[in-house]
Structure 1
Amino acid sequence: MRARTLLPAAVAAALLTVSGCGSGSGSDSADDAETSPSKTATAQAPAGSDGSGTRADGAKVPEALNFTATTVDGKPFDAKSLTGRPTVLWFWAPWCPTCRGQAAETAKVAADYEGKANVVGVAGLDKNAAMRDFVSETGTGSFPQLSDEAGDVWKRFEITQQSIYVILDKDGNTVYEGLLPGGEGLADKVAALTG
């Protein structure tokens, strides 16, 4: 009987640790939001990564982009394909109102910078069916949306809460990490990297 009492408390504590949706705890101040380029360089290769540092065409792949995943619609995704362009990784959860508020601006940036920068959604903290519903309801299906139910990509980038953007330069270095309420400022950050 004691295990039944402790289990809900443990689950609640874990959710409080990874949540933060709308709490502002993902500060967007310059000191808290900026991160060093070495953060992703120290990331461990997740399950599914083949460990190869080159693409089939011979292009050198930054460690940050050396992983594979599956999209919310069940298709394989190889992050090596993002090599050579600035990349926005948008970490979201389907039940998060802050993420829902970021969806339109994120989709607009993906469309406006198509061919110049990559935008990839990384859904977590729920089941794939809820992730697919979110994509359908928010109109964000025009750019890749990864289903990260196991949290492998989230762990790779040390993400502990949803509605966070990680922006990589063309060399795979992290140049920004933080919360952008409503996606405000995302276009400016991508524009600065695409010239």
Structure 2
Amino acid sequence: MRARALVPAVLAAALLTVTGCGSDDSSGSAGASTPAASPATSAAEQASPSDAGGAGAEVPEALAFSGTTVDGKPFDGKTLAGKPTVLWFWAPWCPKCRAQAAETAKVAADYAGKANVVGIAGLDKNAAMKDFVSETGTGSFTHLSDEDGDLWKRFEVTEQSRYVILDTAGKTVYEGVLPGGEGLADKVAGLTG
């Protein structure tokens, strides 16, 4: 049990050594490839397909994943199908992530029903993730707890305060850092018309 408790700390230390707390590189890779497929586990959908905008939409391979929200509810990535999706990878102790929180929440509210915004928290324990959501006022949109880093690996994210933006077909159209979330609204507007 003690070794299990050390895994997040070792992973966080390794990432900090390599990346710091996310770089200010906002170049992103507009042509980034869709992440490699990994088997999805069968979790109950958090929202019905009609709530997800994915009613009848073909589910791209990028959205064939499942997880658990920071509140302990099952989540199925298939519910995101049919709309552009912002995946925001953050860590509770990261000051750059905190700086992105307000703009990310604003984009989630402004584009509700037109685009999905999902936070994917990692590099710490779920209790710290829940505190971050509460303290930053970002509870209006879904946050997944990724303590084991499975979703971070799936989307090839190696540092926190990173955005992965997918179009309606599930293709990655942006991957990178947006300091303070600046430019996020423009990127989402470009995908929603």
TM-score (structure 2 length as normaliser): 0.84
User: Aligned residues, how many?
Assistant: 176
Q: Secondary structure at the match of 1:160?
A: coil
Q: Secondary structure at the match of 2:38?
A: coil
Over the aligned positions, Cα root-mean-square deviation in angstroms equals 2.3
Q: Is 1:44 equivalent to 2:73 in the alignment?
A: no
Q: C-alpha separation between the residues in 1 aligned to 2:42 and 2:170?
A: 16
Name stretches of at least 5 consecutive residues in structure 1 with no aligned partner.
Answer: 1-9
Of 110, 132, 155, which aligns to 1:157?
155
TM-score (structure 1 length as normaliser): 0.83
Conservation of the 8 A alpha-carbon contact between 1:99 and 1:163: yes
Q: C-alpha separation between the residues in 1 aligned to 2:79 and 2:175?
A: 21
Alignment of 1:115-130 (within 5 A): 115-130=113-128
Q: Secondary structure at the match of 1:81?
A: helix
Q: Secondary structure at the match of 1:122?
A: strand
Instruction: State the partner residue of 1:5.
Output: none
Q: C-alpha separation between the residues in 2 aligned to 1:36 and 1:47?
A: 25
Q: C-alpha separation between the residues in 1 aligned to 2:76 and 2:127?
A: 21
Q: Secondary structure at the match of 2:165?
A: strand
Larger radius of gyration: 1
Conservation of the 8 A alpha-carbon contact between 1:93 and 1:163: yes
Conservation of the 8 A alpha-carbon contact between 2:70 and 2:126: yes
Matched residues, percent identical? 74
Q: C-alpha separation between the residues in 2 aligned to 1:162 and 1:48?
A: 25
Alignment of 1:11-160 (within 5 A): 14-17=14-17, 19-24=19-24, 27-29=25-27, 33-40=28-35, 43-46=36-39, 48=41, 59-160=57-158
Name stretches of at least 5 consecutive residues in structure 2 with no aligned partner.
Answer: 1-9, 44-48
